Structure 1
């Protein structure tokens, strides 16, 4: 049964930055199951944090009774939406096809493909591959005044540095997607990130010009940190959803380190906790920020959504063990390896291993052997969570954890890995 106030729920969660006629959209969402779509361009082998906002918004709309179409752009992925930073690298058709399948596989677990409002996956390559240039220019290009295209924010910012005709024309392709899906499937709502607002409204306008129909568009906000900078980066790069590109441990740690001022916003956007639960966590964070109740629940919830509950437990066990509160031997080798690589350290060849002082220097935990010696003397040096008493200690292969690691720790909070092999 359709939930009539899903738009109010999205507004409370801070998921609406812009929309076309708000009252008309609310009425449509309250009258029956609205068919909507959201698009993802496979310009990389994985989705990231920004895409997750869209995937979860699609899930919220589906759970409210509406019907999702998830578009993975085998055609638009060959070009890529214009960026402020400059022209995208164009990838081969074989690469894009591979990425289409990988991205589809990341989206599908979040949606239901059964029931009256079952999800559908679509690929815009299906309706662009056979389209001639002449037909495209006559049927689509005719409806795009160049002065309006030049007025788009991204295009204006790129005019001085340069923008190719390929990227300049991207808006025509995305607008055509909306038109095709409207005609083929009766889709009347498209949503995406606020950086897509120009593309979203261009699609609405194209449908009005060609078919005389009134459809809707909605944009989610760009999430930023307290200082206004973008989210989505870790020490190793983007916050990828693919565990091969960013380990579940590192993913969990990212959310665990969320700012107190932002934890409520992130709980609203990225979890399915109720309003009461989120407001209680916000209050706990305000009253006792040192307990980090909001961050802990946020990290657990989002990691479970993306990687599963087992990976949450592994990430928590790994963190506890690495900071001296658990058994290192109980951590899965791949989780241990990803956690230690995330922390940083060094690699040494197998065989006759260096002494503990040299290892602490090589791992970056101290600046010199003298400092390492003092750390041992003060009782602050640990090997595999066991305090080092002898500064002349030389680890052996029997000390390796997870098959190839030595875990060094200085004090309570600084640790590093030494990979042997």
Structure 2
């Protein structure tokens, strides 16, 4: 089975520019391909997960990934899927974020001996002469056609700046530059990048008269079409300092039944026969599949030891026994005693807001040591701590430990 068939069987592929030619290319040579990552934070999040899995599958089949860090394009901001203009970033912040990305990618990609590359498009975009670029690249782009691209439609409603309008041209230029430097023949990305990817493919074919190809992979969404990876605290980060391994594990442990098989196919390396077996489980048995999913995904991102710890903490909570050290912990100082429990939990991000916390308490959705908290003005006192910690339960599945520092 070719890697194209593997990607198709596992549900990655959304759109391709030239399917038959891409299949033939994969069969006859080792292909250099690239996926772009904008360094807009100091950690990758679960939205980048699919891209790294695609790179891993491709590299295992003998092809060479090029991880393109958008040090140049991040100073402009990709308008794709955005309703507001992004904040511009300094070179120092971008450089720091790039280093953080590489550490996380090394769990998936082997960068040794040129088997994979990480390059920064700031290395060439920042050296461009504006007039030369306009003359060289401008004739190959139709403004009328660019304005029909999906990536601009949302921004057009609020006002698309000329700065953002240049993003497609810059991304297309990246593909051409990588083609010159590394014989890169394929650009891959999320399906929201389709218009930008086509622009690069067509630029190389028109200007260079060379073969170039594009492939998009499906976005990670629920069976209801909503983006996965959003938590009450924001994105589901791959950095354990931003999203703990336990919280990460619990996110996948609690996906809906309908999403289990898709997540197993896209986010683990389990054989498809096993994926289909687990995905076919029904009723209570589907929980076994969710445990496998949570463990495998957490192991990929955080390593086996952290996955085991998260698994044990989850089981300890479920069974009411065992080690709770890996449960998300809130350390209390002397100054915290006398505060309302609602205020404390809102401050620590357990609730998105105090109003959310009030609603949950009024709906009997908050417990302290298995006792329902019914008073929104409940005050936390030191006398409550007969044990070394108190367990807060939010809703049916979320737990937090309160400990005295």
TM-score of the pair, normalised by structure 1: 0.82
- Return the offset for 1:299: 0.6
Q: CA 1:93–1:350 in structure 2 vs 1: closer, same or farther (change >3 Å)? A: same
Looking at structure 2, the residues matched to 353 and 142 of structure 1 have their Cα atoms a distance apart, in angstroms, of 68
Equivalence map 1:20-419=2 (5 Å): 20-82=17-79, 83-114=81-112, 118-283=115-280, 285-286=281-282, 288-328=283-323, 331=325, 335-336=326-327, 339-340=328-329, 349-350=333-334, 380-381=370-371, 394-396=383-385, 399-400=387-388, 405-408=389-392, 415-419=399-403
| Post-superposition CA distance 1:175-202 (Å, at most 9, x none) | 1110011011111111000000001110
- Return the offset for 1:328: 3.6
- Return the offset for 1:66: 0.8
Looking at structure 2, the residues matched to 225 and 129 of structure 1 have their Cα atoms a distance apart, in angstroms, of 39
Q: CA 1:193–1:361 in structure 2 vs 1: closer, same or farther (change >3 Å)? A: closer
Q: CA 1:230–1:80 in structure 2 vs 1: closer, same or farther (change >3 Å)? A: same
Looking at structure 2, the residues matched to 352 and 165 of structure 1 have their Cα atoms a distance apart, in angstroms, of 50
Q: Is the 8 A contact 2:34 2:188 kept in 1?
A: yes
Q: How many residues align?
A: 382
TM-score of the pair, normalised by structure 2: 0.85
Rg comparison, structure with higher value: 1
- Return the offset for 1:279: 1.3
Looking at structure 1, the residues matched to 219 and 193 of structure 2 have their Cα atoms a distance apart, in angstroms, of 10
Looking at structure 1, the residues matched to 287 and 141 of structure 2 have their Cα atoms a distance apart, in angstroms, of 51
Q: Is the 8 A contact 1:239 1:251 kept in 2?
A: yes
Secondary structure of the 2:390 match is: strand
Q: CA 1:320–1:203 in structure 2 vs 1: closer, same or farther (change >3 Å)? A: same
| Post-superposition CA distance 1:34-68 (Å, at most 9, x none) | 11111101012211112110011011001011111
Looking at structure 2, the residues matched to 328 and 395 of structure 1 have their Cα atoms a distance apart, in angstroms, of 21
| Post-superposition CA distance 1:84-105 (Å, at most 9, x none) | 3221111222212211221222
- Return the offset for 1:413: 6.1
Tell me, which stretches of 5 or more residues in structure 2 are unaligned? 346-356, 373-380
| Post-superposition CA distance 1:196-223 (Å, at most 9, x none) | 0001110000101111011111000122
| Post-superposition CA distance 1:126-154 (Å, at most 9, x none) | 11222111122122223211111111112
Secondary structure of the 2:43 match is: coil
- Return the offset for 1:277: 1.1
- Return the offset for 1:276: 1.3
- Return the offset for 1:280: 1.4
Secondary structure of the 1:245 match is: coil
